[in-house]
């Protein structure tokens, strides 16, 4: 059976990793890459919330 809590946690962990990488890219002056990775972070954290949401 599919474990939605585990899947949501996996996406959240990846979003946190992306955010840290985006911050590093920003500090180092890789602005385009920082923006792209920050957007990926937003997508993954949104996916985390959608997976955690109970079915309606």
Structural domain spans, the chain: 4-52
pLDDT the model gives residue 39: 96
Cα-Cα-Cα-Cα dihedral sign, residues 42, 44, 49, 55: positive
Is the pLDDT at 52 greater than 70, yes or no?
Answer: yes
pLDDT the model gives residue 56: 67
- Please state the pTM of the whole predicted model: 0.80
Q: Could you tell me the two tokens for 9?
A: 């946690």
Residue 18 near residue 40, CB atoms below 8 Å: yes
Is the pLDDT at 40 greater than 80, yes or no?
Answer: yes
């Amino acid at each position: 059976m599919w474990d939605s809590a585990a899947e949501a946690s996996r996406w959240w962990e990846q979003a946190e990793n992306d955010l840290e990488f985006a911050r590093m890219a920003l500090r180092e002056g890789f602005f385009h890459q920082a923006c792209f990775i920050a957007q990926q972070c937003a997508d993954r954290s949104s996916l985390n919330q959608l997976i955690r949401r109970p079915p309606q």
